Structures are given as C-alpha cells and as structure tokens.
Amino acid sequence: MTSLIKRDLMKCASPEKAKILSRFFKTGKGEYGEGDVFLGITVPEQRKVAKRYPYLSLRELRNLLSSRIHEHRLVSLLILVEKYRGSDETGRKEIFDFYLDNKRYINNWDLVDLSAPNIPGDYLLDKDTSPLRRLAESENIWDRRIAIMSTFAFIRKSRFGDTFRIARMLLSDDHDLIHKAVGWMLREVGKRDRRAEEAFLKKHFRRMPRTMLRYAIERFEEKKRRSFLKTS
C-alpha cells in the first residue's frame, strides 16, 4: 500500500518547487533540516493523497514515516491524525505510543505543528502531562517543539497551565524555532484570555529571547507592545 502512496506522490512532484522547499526548510549542511529530501508537493496535494489511504496499518505508516523524503513523512502524519480521530480510547493509546516511539522521524517544524496538538496534545488532555515535560527537557529540538506545540490542544480548551509550565522551561532555549513556537502559543493564550497572557509576560518577559517576546505580543496594541520591547 505504501508503494501506491509513493507512486501517487511522485506524480505530483515538481523539481522546481523541491528546490524552493529545500531552501525554505533549511536542508543545507549544518542547518536544522539538514538531509531532508523534498519532492516539491504542496500541502493541499498531499492532503488529497492522504485521503485516498485512510486504512493504512501502523506498520505501513511507520514504513512511510521513516522515509528520508519529507512528503512521505508528512502524508503519513496526516493519515495518522485522521486515524487517531476515528479511534476509540484503546486505539488512541496505541497511536499515542506509536507517535512517541517514532518521534525521531517527526523532524521538521511543519511535521511537528500538524501532528503534536492533534495526537499527544489531545491524548493527554485528561491525563498526566509529565510526558510533555520530559520532551521539553530533551536535547532534541523537535522533542522540545512537540512539547510546546502539544499544549495547543489545552489552549483550545482554555486550559493554560501546561502551556505556561512548558514555556517557563523553554525561556532559556537557544533555538529560534523554539522561541517562535513558545511565543506563538503564548499569543494563542492571549486570544482567549489576554489577562492570563499578560500576567505570565509581566513575570517573565525580561528573560525571554526577543523573537519569543515579539511573537507573544504581536496582537497587542502598539503602545503596550512598545512598552514590553523597551523594558525587555
């Protein structure tokens, strides 16, 4: 079955788009996406392919997820998210475990962002969230991004405690992609509860990397935004 998916994706491949995506996702030597291989396929096209194969087994999905080709991994995660949504509690636990067991293949920011809120985040809504704290402590940048992005599921339920806990753990992170993700999640908190976001920022904004703070206060009125930036 995975050979059919790979065939369908190859039909959509564009060498010109592949070059653009390779630069955009920083695949050069020493960059965060080093070694990632692109076919040059838009996400809407990948979603169309994923919808044709909703019944892939986890074994088949692992075959796809472990590919060096970025679009193979993204399509496998699109299918996995839909499989999770259609599963009972036992099936969701199996998919959650599968996700964590294979997270080394979820190794670029778009792969993390489309999957983390919808699988580990959703699964842990009514459970112990210590797995997210362990991910936040990881030396692997994608583990840390999974940790903060998973809390988007909590934010959507107007539960902000885990976002704030993970954000505090990542205040001193040295990677721009973590700064952006944390700032983004704090901004999402603010969309639902500006007072809660501001209370967090007042305690911690002086320790925040500039990019993280800029993302967090993006929706603030100009005067307040300038005030935070001036005193940070």
CA neighbor of 148 nearest in space, from 119, 183, 175: 183
Residue 231: pLDDT above 90? no
Q: Is the pLDDT of residue 15 over 80?
A: yes
Examine the pLDDT at 84 and tell me if it is beyond 90.
yes
The CATH number of 116-232, from 2.40.440.10, 1.25.10.90, 3.40.50.2000, 3.40.50.300, is: 1.25.10.90
Query: What is the structure's pLDDT at 230?
Result: 86
Q: Which two tokens stand for residue 195?
A: 């007072």
With beta carbons less than 8 A apart as the criterion, state whether 97 and 132 touch: no
What residue spans define the domains of the chain?
1-108, 116-232
Tell me: pLDDT of 232 over 70. no
Q: What is the pLDDT of residue 183?
A: 98
**Nearest-angstrom CA–CA distance, 204 and 57:** 45
Fold matches, 1-108 and 116-232: yes
Supply the pLDDT for residue 153: 98
Q: Is the pLDDT of residue 70 over 70?
A: yes
pLDDT, the chain, mean: 96
CATH architecture entry for 1-108: Alpha Horseshoe (1.25)
pTM of the complete model: 0.96
For the cut 70, the answer to whether the pLDDT of residue 128 exceeds it is yes
Is the C-alpha dihedral spanning 176, 177, 183, 187 positive or negative?
Answer: positive
Contact between 60 and 1 (Cβ < 8 Å):
yes
pLDDT band for position 1 (cuts 50, 70, 90): confident
The mean pLDDT value for 23-41 works out to 95
Q: Are 86 and 56 in contact (CB under 8 A)?
A: no
pLDDT tens digits, residue range 85-96? 999 999 999 999
SS3 sequence of the chain: CHHHHHHHHHHHCCHHHHHHHHHHCCCCCCCCCCCCECCCCCHHHHHHHHHCCCCCCHHHHHHHHCCCEHHHHHHHHHHHHHHHHCCCHHHHHHHHHHHHHCHHHCCCHHHHHHHCHHHHHHHHHHCCCHHHHHHHCCCCHHHHHHHHHHCHHHHCCCCCHHHHHHHHHCCCCCCHHHHHHHHHHHHHHHHHCHHHHHHHHHHHHHHCCHHHHHHHCCCCCHHHHHHHHHHC
pLDDT tens column, 138-173: 999 999 999 999 999 999 999 999 999 999 999 999
For residue range 168-224, what is the model confidence (pLDDT) as tens digits? 999 999 999 999 999 999 999 999 999 999 999 999 999 999 999 999 999 999 999
The contacts of residue 56 (CB under 8 Å, 6+ apart) are 1, 2, 5, 64, 76, 79, 83
